[in-house]
Structures are given as structure tokens and as C-alpha cells.
Amino acid sequence: MEECKIPIVIVKPIRTKVFKEGDDLFAFVACYFNKLTDKSVIVVTSKIVALAEGRTAVAGNDKIKEKLIKKESDFALHTKHIWMTLRDGMVMASAGIDESNARGKFILLPKNSFKTARLLRKKLQQKYGIKNLGVLITDSRTVPLRSGVTGVALGCAGFRSVKDYKGQRDIFGRKFKFSSVDIADSLAAAAVLVMGEGKEQQPLAIITKAPVEFSEKAYRRELEIAIQDDMYLPLFAKLFKLK
């Protein structure tokens, strides 16, 4: 009987010292890797990217936070529990502004996570002398009608963000018409699971043996869907009219 070979993806969190506002992101990441193997994906939580960029604000009262949320959002809607916002083509709570592990400050989202991922990747490639390397910047998000948070990709570089199955056949020969896999968010979910959300102090991770297509080009647009083309738009439009 022929042995079935199943690829084993390895996601390893990295415990680090506390990253301080203004610290050098590349130096911080590089000090935790003696070497990197080809076809690895380095995962960095968005919080330390934001701290490196000085993307913080002194925590204040609700009025101050509301003003900051509106400034950081493309669209903001106040709901029973939170501000539901749209930023960088993603729906999120409170424009991604975080108060956890922040020492009395608001931590905002990074300026441009895709650009940061590209720059960090280039520096790491040069330092370790490898060609195929991915960089993934993660955050946490809630999913409608589901409890808890999961990881999401804010930015990435070095690999295709989406795997397209359209035109291929399933196990019974039927052609896929719409199916695709969100590679970036899938890797982010796996990484955030092991990195943790509390006091684990694991803002970095490394993923090896992942079934991704490494590439020099960035494919940010692969992850985005225009709001008028989103399949959930009719549902949410009706829900908001009921409120």
C-alpha cells in the first residue's frame, strides 16, 4: 500500500523581551534568529510594528477615543458594544485601536503594513542570504456571529496572498467556479493561535513547510473585495435598516 505523504506545517512562536516604543524593528526581529532557512515565513504582530513607528496616543476618556477612532477610520458606525469601522479595506472594531499591553496608551495600527513587510523582508533576505522568504504582519479580528478572535493578515510580502482554484477540478471532476483560499489570513490565524493574546510575550513566530507560492511581487489587491461586490453586502444592508 502506497504511503500517503501529508505535509506538516510547523508554526513556532518566539518568546522575546518586551518591545519598547521606538525600538528598531529589524534589529529586534533579527536578534531572535541565528539563521533562516529558505521558504520560511516570519510572522510579526502588528503591535510591535506600530510601536516601532511611534503609532501611539495617550489614553484618555471616551470622547478622546471616539475622536481618534473617527480620524483613523474610512467609515465609523457606533453600535451597542463598539465602534464598527472600515479601515484599509477591512471591517474592524474601533479602527484597530488597542489598549491591551499598552501601559496606559492607545496603540494604533501601523501606517502601511504591506510596505513594512516588504522592507523588513528585503533586509532579512540580505542578512541571511536567502531568496524565498515571506513576511506576515498580523492582528486579531472578530468574525460576525462567532465568539472570540482569530488572526488576520494586515500586511504580507514574499508570497501569493490567495490560492485560486477556479478552473481546476475537484475529486469528482467538477470544475471550480468561484473557490479560492485566503493564504495570508489562514497563516495569520495559525500563527496568532500559538503566539497568544495575553501575557505570552510572543510577538514573533516562524512558519516552515507551508504550502505557499513564494514570489518577489506583492499581491495586496488579491485580498481585497470592493464593498459593492462583497457577497455579504445585501445581508448587512438589511440588518442595518432594521436597527
Domain boundaries along the sequence of the chain? 10-54+110-242, 56-109
Q: Report, as an integer, the average pLDDT of 5-24.
A: 92
pLDDT at position 196, please?
95
Burial class (CB in 10 A: 0-12, 13-18, 19+), 209: middle
Domain 10-54+110-242: CATH superfamily is CofE-like (3.30.1330.100)
Please compute the mean of the pLDDT values over residues 27-49 and round it to a whole number.
96
The three cell numbers of residue 210 are: 507551508
- For the entire predicted model, the pTM comes to 0.91
Strand order in the sheet with 90-93: 75-78, 83-87, 90-93
- pLDDT cut 90: percent of the chain above it: 62
pLDDT in tens, 65-123: 999 999 999 989 898 888 989 898 888 999 999 888 778 899 999 999 999 999 999 99
What is the mean predicted confidence (pLDDT) over 185-205? 96
Predicted local confidence at residue 124, as pLDDT:
98
* Burial label, 211 (beta-carbon count in 10 A; 0-12, 13-18, 19+): exposed
Q: What pLDDT was estimated at residue 2?
A: 53
Could you tell me how far CA 69 lies from the centroid of its own chain?
20
Give dist(CA 56, CA 111) in Å, integer: 11
Distance of CA 49 to the CA centre of its chain: 12
Task: Please enumerate in sequence order all residues whose Cβ is within 8 A of that of 215, keeping only pairs 6 or more positions apart, or say none.
Answer: 158, 159, 160
Looking at residues 181-192, what average pLDDT do you find? 96
As beta bridge partners, residue 54 has none
